[in-house]
Amino acid sequence: MLRRMFFPILMGIVGCAFLIGLGVWQVQRMHWKEGVLARIEAKIHGDPVALPASAGLTEAEDEYRAVIVEGGFTGEFIELLAGQKGTSPGVRIIEAFAAADGRRILVDRGFLEDAARAAPRTGGATQVTGNLLWPDDSDSFTPPPDPKTGLWFARDLPAMAEKLGTEPLLVVARAPTGDGIAPVPVDTSSIPNDHWGYAIQWFSLAVVWGVMTLYLLWRIRQRTV
């Protein structure tokens, strides 16, 4: 009987160990992701600094950094198809911004309802506080801007910069910039941390594997009694 039970026992131990190992790995990944999110949150809500020179900026080091920039909106903008819960359809306004030092960058001013799109905008000198972002909204399935309406469907940073003649640098406003445009600040809600759910799945499978192994051993024992 022991000889017949050896292989099921071995497979039960190996299978449970493998599944438990995957669950532990997911728990470790969860703690790692929590650390990443905490560092990003610290950057997002940190004290804003003057916009650094382009030569010193990198996506790896500077994404989410809080900055403040002086200058004025140029009136050149892109409308990005967007929506917000509890509001009518609308667009996000990505506008060229002429900084006081002569640089031209992009500012994501936020959401504007369709009913307000035709209203005149004041422009002029202003100060923008926000966060640097290198968005990756677009992919190979994203359609190009609509030639009839001019609407864009994703924040394609190089393409937007080329269109508006700016540096490929985007500041997402975290405070209102006027003209009835509601800011859509950067946050971590779009960065998933589902590792605890995956860990529960692996641990549950380990329990199922163990129960199935015990059931098989019971069947073998019953047949040999």
What is the distance between the alpha carbons of residues 201 and 203, in angstroms, rounded to a whole number? 6
Residues 134 and 63 in one domain: yes
What is the distance between the alpha carbons of residues 46 and 30, in angstroms, rounded to a whole number? 24
Residues 94 and 162 in one domain: yes
Residues 165 and 209 in one domain: no
What is the distance between the alpha carbons of residues 121 and 158, in angstroms, rounded to a whole number? 25
Computed from CA positions of residues 182, 188, 192, 193, in that sequence, does the dihedral angle turn out positive or negative? negative
Domain that holds residue 62: 47-173
Residues 168 and 198 in one domain: no
Q: With cut-offs at 50, 70 and 90, classify the pLDDT of residue 173.
A: very high
pTM value is 0.80
Residues 122 and 222 in one domain: no
Q: What is the pLDDT of residues 58-84, one digit of tens each?
A: 888 899 999 999 999 998 999 998 876
Is residue 129 within 8 Å of residue 201, measured between CB atoms?
Answer: no
Residues 149 and 198 in one domain: no
